[in-house]
Chain A
Amino acid sequence: MMTFADLDRAVQATLASKRLGKPVFVRLTWQGLDRPEAVAPRLAQTMAVVQQWLGQPLDQIYAIGSAASGQVALTLKFREGATALVSFARGQPRGAGIDLMVLGNHGAIYHDAGSAPLWDEPLVPAGQPDPAVLALVERALRSHQPESAGTGGKP
């Protein structure tokens, strides 16, 4: 069974091969039936993975939607210009429930239900989110304003 760690490894390996050039943008939409209290931790975990792919310090985060509504989209701006949209959409996932596009300055990675396992098996990130990243996500969800990630790209 594919795990989130498998997907992460595959993306990292592709990025490390330099086939895409320098990664500049990630769109990752996560679909699942998570409870509202699980949404922010899951987004924080995903955010950390996306940041690793882009390899840049986080500069700013902005949130629309709410965990309660089951629809959240985080806009992430990174210090050297990369950007990301990390979203959670509550609903029955299709395939692995991950819809991913990574753009590099020489190419792109696509992964969606069409390239996932041919059955519905939602991916779940292992471990716990970084408390500081989680706090930043929660702050952005409360304010609905652009929030600075603080110096050093770590909240």
Chain B
Amino acid sequence: MSEAKYGVLLVTGSHTHQENYAEAFAADKRCQLIAVTDEAAIDPKRRELNERLARALGVPYLPDLGKALERKDVNVVSICAPPERRGRIAIRCAAAGKHLYLDKSLVPKLSEADALVEAVRRAGVRSHMFSFITQPWARQAKQMLADGKLGKLQAIHADVFFAKGKVGTAKLGTPRKEEYPPERHQLVEAKRELDNVGVYPITLVRWLTGKKFHTVLGVTANYFFAEHQRYNVEDFGLLAATLEDGLPVTITAGRYGWTTHPAGGVNRMMLVGSERTVVIDANRPRLEVYTDEPPWVPPNVNPADPMGFWSSTQAEVHVRPKKTWVPVTPAGTSDASYFLDCLDANHDSEINVAEAALATEVLLAAYRSAATGEVVTLPLPR
């Protein structure tokens, strides 16, 4: 091993967020990527994708997670397994004494979330779920609240949408009928976007306020994509919630198409205070640049990833960056480096599994509400 302090094992490979997380870990000098691995009994397609990322990174593929976890040079496991397998894998990794870096959202079931929190506690390892908390605008919002610049916080309104996918194909005209518990979180063609995107603002609200959600009314919908409709997963979600101190919170989240936004999508949060209201917008401050360059056009649809979930599949269809809006402020610390900072300092991440599990519970409450039409009170019954 090199001088790197942390050996990082990657669970699952291409066509997952591991493509990005591995890159972020590799860019941090404290890390050495050890291998890509997965559960032994996976389908051939997943194995081929795992091996593909291993080849791209120049690391071995270890086909048996159990054996990979026996390696003493592995300190951190970055887990991007599909949601349905994520919980049991994370529990195995924690039991092996490895620190956990987890894709979002945490796990689909409350029982899995509880079990994972307990496994991490028992093993005494550190954990972190990917989030927006390292983004400069999020840190600025946190600081403003801590400094009391808004007075007493009175309401939060947040919107996060991913501007990807070819819209206009969903059949409209009837409200979506939600199911509870939600199934099928991540398919090739579609994801549950309330879960996939909504986890960000839910996590931010909890992180910013330190308060738990108390009530949730959730609505899910199919507004944009036939793919989501075909697999009975939503492309849009909405929460009208209250926190434990009664603070009203509204959240919308989803995926709404390549051409619906000049950049990557709306990502903003209105913090209403007794003294001052601020809108924290990931797309501001910005330069707006207009030139005689050819206008941005969406990429051709990649059948392997029609919604543009993954970096590699977007590169295959030559997605061009949108360049009209140019960020003014520098990018923040990577989420991976933030977790390494936590390990260096031997303290917990602000989004450890216990915090991430709270977001899971809010998401499940929203799905239950969407299915029943009723306001759901937290905590959910165990």
A122 to B170, CA, bound (A): 37
CB of B313 within 8 A of chain A? no
Bound state CA distance, A51 and B266, in angstroms?
23
Size class of the B contact interface (CB-based, 8 Å): 35 or more
B154 and A85 form a contact (CB under 8 A): no
Of residues 142 to 188 in B, which have CB atoms within 8 Å of A's CB atoms?
Answer: 154-155, 157, 159, 167-168, 170, 172-176
Q: Is the CB of A146 within 8 A of B270?
A: no
B139 contacts chain A at the CB level, 8 A cutoff: no
Say whether, besides A22-B172, A81-B221, A89-B270, A71 and B248 are in contact (CB < 8 Å).
yes
Residue with the highest number of chain A CB atoms closer than 10 Å, among B159, B167, B223, B259? B223
Q: Which single residue of chain B is at the shortest CB-CB distance from A89? A: B272
Give which listed residue, B174, B276, B284, contacts A91 with CB less than 8 A.
B276
Contact between chains at B373 and A73 (CB < 8 Å):
no
Q: A64-B242, A83-B238 are in contact. Are A77 and B167 (CB under 8 A)?
A: no
Q: Kindly identify, within residues 35 to 78 of chain A, every residue whose CB is under 8 Å from any CB belonging to chain B.
A: 59-60, 62, 64-65, 69-73, 75, 77
- Given A73-B240, A89-B272, A106-B167: A24 and B155 within 8 A (CB)? no
Task: Confirm or deny: A145 has a beta carbon within 8 angstroms of a beta carbon on chain B.
Answer: yes
Q: For residue A113, which residues in chain B have a CB less than 8 angstroms away from its CB?
A: 279
Q: How far, in angstroms, from A22 to B174 measured CA to CA in the complex?
A: 13
Q: 30 interchain pairs (CB within 8 A)?
A: A24-B172, A24-B223, A25-B223, A25-B236, A25-B238, A62-B217, A64-B242, A64-B250, A73-B248, A75-B219, A77-B175, A81-B174, A81-B176, A85-B157, A87-B250, A90-B154, A91-B273, A91-B276, A99-B270, A101-B159, A103-B223, A103-B260, A105-B170, A106-B167, A106-B257, A107-B257, A113-B279, A144-B375, A146-B217, A146-B374
Which B residues are CB-close (under 8 A) to A145?
A: 375
Roughly how many angstroms separate A71 CA and B155 CA in the complex, as a whole number?
7
Chain B residue contacts of A29, Cβ below 8 A: 157, 270
B318 an interface residue at 8 Å Cβ cutoff?
no
Q: How far is the CA of A64 from the CA of B378 in the complex (A)?
A: 16
Is there an interface contact between B167 and A92, defined as CB atoms closer than 8 Å?
Answer: no
Query: Which of B's residues lie within 8 Å of A, judged by CB?
Result: 154-155, 157, 159, 167-168, 170, 172-176, 215, 217, 219, 221-224, 236, 238, 240-242, 248, 250, 252, 256-257, 259-261, 266, 270, 272-273, 276-277, 279, 284, 373-375
Known: A73-B155, A81-B175. 7 other contacts (CB 8 A): A21-B168, A27-B159, A64-B248, A101-B159, A106-B168, A146-B373, A146-B374
Nearest residue in B to A106 (C-beta to C-beta)?
A: B168
Q: Are A105 and B173 in contact (CB under 8 A)?
A: no
Name the one of B168, B238, B375 contacting A85, with C-beta atoms under 8 angstroms. Answer: B238
A108 proximal to B (CB < 8 A): yes
Q: Name the residue of chain B whose CB is nearest to the CB of A93.
A: B277
Asked if A112 is at the interface (CB within 8 A of a chain B CB), the reply is yes
Q: Report the minimum CB–CB distance from A64 to chain B (whole Å).
A: 4
Whether B157 pairs with A105 at a CB distance below 8 angstroms is: no
* Dominant secondary structure of chain A at its interface with chain B: strand
* B272 contact set on A, CB distance < 8 A: 31, 71, 89-91
Q: Are A92 and B277 in contact (CB under 8 A)?
A: yes
Cβ 8 A contact of B219, one of A70, A72, A83, A114? A83
Given contacts A80-B174, A81-B175, contact A73 B157 (CB under 8 A): yes
CB distance A107 to B259 under 8 Å? yes
B376 to chain A, nearest CB (A): 12
A87 touches B157 (CB 8 A): yes
User: In the assembly, what is the distance between CA of A143 and CA of B331, in Å?
Assistant: 45
Report the Cα distance A95→B3, complex, angstroms: 54
A85 x B250 contact (CB < 8 A): yes
Residue of A nearest to B170 (CB): A105
A31 to B278, CA, bound (A): 11
Residues of chain B within 8 A of A92, CB atoms compared: 276-277
A75 B240 Cβ-Cβ under 8 A: yes
| B154 close to A69 (CB less than 8 A) | yes
A residues near B374, Cβ cutoff 8 Å: 146
